[in-house]
C-alpha cells in the first residue's frame, strides 16, 4: 500500500496548483474518507443531484486514488456510467465503513510538515505554516478545496472505497 507522501506526490504532479488547504484536504480524506460529508442519506443524494446540475465540461480521470483503498470518483465521468442513486449508495456505504485513526493522521501530518520543502509545491513554507496554524487551531477539520484549486481543476467527485461499485 502506498504511503500518504507517495499519494501526495502523485496529486502534486497531477494538480500542480494545489495549495496548503488542498494538501490537508487530501490528507484528511486519505485517513477518514467521506464520513464528514454524510449525515443523512437523503440529503447526500439531494446534494449529489444539485452538484450534477453544475457539472461543466472538464476532462478528468474517472478514478483518482487517494490511498487507504479509497478513490475520488469524478462525477462528470461517473454519471455517464452510473445513476446518481448508485453513486450515492456507494458514497454513503463508504462513509459508514471508513474509520480513520487520529494517530495515523497525526503521523502523516507531522511527516507532511517536516517534508514540505522537499515536495514540488506551488507555495512557500511560510504559506504552509500560516495555513497549518489555522488548521491546528480549528482541531484539524475537514476542509473544502482552495479557491485556486476549484478554479483550476473544477473538482466534482465522491470519495469511495476502491471497487465498491463491483459488489
Instruction: Note the pLDDT tens digit of each residue in 114-135.
Output: 999 999 999 999 999 999 999 9
For residue 121, the number of C-alpha atoms closer than 13 Å in the C-beta half-sphere is 22
| pLDDT at site 15 | 97
* Percentage, residues of the chain above pLDDT 90: 86
What Å distances lie between residue 31 and 105, 115, 125, 128, 146, CA to CA? 6, 19, 24, 20, 19
pTM of the model: 0.94
pLDDT mean over 15-37 = 93
Q: Residue 124, Cβ neighbours under 10 Å: how many?
A: 12
Amino acid at each position: 500500500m502506498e504511503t500518504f507522501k507517495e499519494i501526495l506526490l502523485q496529486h502534486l504532479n497531477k494538480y500542480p496548483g494545489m495549495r496548503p488547504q488542498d494538501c490537508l484536504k487530501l490528507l484528511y480524506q486519505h485517513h477518514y474518507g467521506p464520513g464528514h460529508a454524510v449525515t443523512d442519506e437523503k440529503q447526500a443524494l439531494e446534494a449529489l443531484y444539485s452538484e450534477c446540475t453544475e457539472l461543466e465540461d472538464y476532462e478528468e480521470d474517472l478514478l483518482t486514488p487517494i490511498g487507504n483503498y479509497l478513490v475520488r470518483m469524478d462525477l462528470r465521468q461517473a454519471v455517464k456510467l452510473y445513476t446518481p442513486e448508485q453513486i450515492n449508495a456507494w458514497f454513503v456505504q463508504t462513509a459508514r465503513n471508513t474509520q480513520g485513526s487520529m494517530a495515523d493522521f497525526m503521523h502523516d501530518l507531522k511527516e507532511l510538515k517536516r517534508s514540505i520543502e522537499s515536495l514540488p509545491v506551488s507555495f512557500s513554507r511560510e504559506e504552509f505554516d500560516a495555513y497549518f496554524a489555522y488548521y491546528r487551531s480549528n482541531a484539524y477539520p475537514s476542509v473544502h478545496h482552495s479557491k485556486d484549486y476549484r478554479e483550476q481543476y473544477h473538482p466534482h467527485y465522491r470519495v469511495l472505497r476502491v471497487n465498491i461499485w463491483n459488489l
